[in-house]
Amino acid sequence: MAAALALMAAFLFAVAATLQQKGALNLDGVSLATPMSLVRLVGQRMWLFGTAALLVGYALQAGALDRGRLAVIQPLLVTTIVFALPLGWWLTNQRVGRREVGGAAVILFGLAAFTIYGDPAGGKDNAPNDEWAIAIVVLSIVCAVLLVFGRNGTPTTTAAVYGTVAGILFGLSAALTKPTVELLHEGVGVMLSHWQCYALAIAGVLGFVLQQVSLGTGRLAPSVATVSVANPVVGVLIGILLFDERLSRPAWHVLVAVIGLLLALGGAVLISLSSQPGPESRSEAAEGSTALA
């Protein structure tokens, strides 16, 4: 059930990213330097539909994290890019080449190996506050460095940088979801009396805003791929380091699972590094193919 919920959440995240990008493409541009560009997104119907899909996806992800372990739920979200490729081709006329298709195939193969042989065991739903503080500070520094030194460049680079930072924040918010949901079982008042739910909200909102900037570049594949890589990497690391989740034995199962996860992340990186141009109309693509012939 946890895995099924995670896959449904991944599909909705892909739908959300595609629809939100479709709405953003109707504007001149989306940038943190012009906050009104973010406000204008609210007037785009497709963007609102995408945001609704995103919220439902968050709910399904929370249900998956409540039933499963962080180290297995988060890697399944890499399938978001697999779902996003055909949706982007269909809804926003994104170009999908052999590199993107090959990367998607590698992702599916790697995740299958990780899911079958990984089977993380043990673990807990929360961690000491001092360990949380260290993790949050380290991730905040990484995000700040990426934003300062990597935000200038081509639209593809910008999409990748903002997507990576958004993915890191989403991975952190996913990790914070486990203790928040556990506290919610004890009552809303109990949940609101702990800092985790507020940190979850802050990380989630910041990740959401940065993802809109990434999608606003018009480069769907690198935007979604970098989110899909950074999110599970952060989730798996927190699951192992803070929640004491461990992969199953024997040792060769662990080896196959790790290789599978690396393959899945490598497939997403392959897609994110593709030199992807902006959206084009299918009529333009057809004319180009005819001219080439």
Question: What is the SS3 assignment for 33-44?
Answer: CEHHHHHHHHHC
How much of the chain exceeds pLDDT 70, in percent? 83
In sequence order, the 6+-apart residues with CB closer than 8 A to the CB of 260 are 109, 110, 111, 112, 113, 114, 115, 117, 118
Torsion of CA 265, 271, 275, 276, to 10 degrees: -140
- Pairwise CA distance, residues 2 & 68, whole Å: 5
Amino acid at 59: A
The pLDDT value given to residue 293: 32
Print pLDDT tens along the chain (293 aa).
Answer: 788 898 898 889 888 888 887 777 666 666 666 666 677 777 778 888 888 998 999 889 888 888 877 777 887 877 787 787 788 777 767 677 777 788 788 888 887 787 777 766 666 778 889 999 999 999 999 999 988 876 677 777 888 888 889 999 999 998 898 889 888 888 889 899 999 999 999 999 999 888 888 877 777 777 777 887 788 888 888 888 888 877 666 777 888 888 888 888 787 777 766 544 444 443 333 333 333 23
The pLDDT value given to residue 121: 63
The pLDDT value given to residue 152: 72
**Tens digit of each residue's pLDDT (9 = 90 or more) over 10-26:** 889 888 888 887 777 66
| Confidence (pTM) | 0.76
Structure tokens at 278: 């902006």
Contact 76, 250 (CB under 8 A): no
The pLDDT value given to residue 119: 67
The pLDDT value given to residue 79: 79
- Pairwise CA distance, residues 246 & 181, whole Å: 21
The pLDDT value given to residue 282: 38
- Pairwise CA distance, residues 150 & 157, whole Å: 8
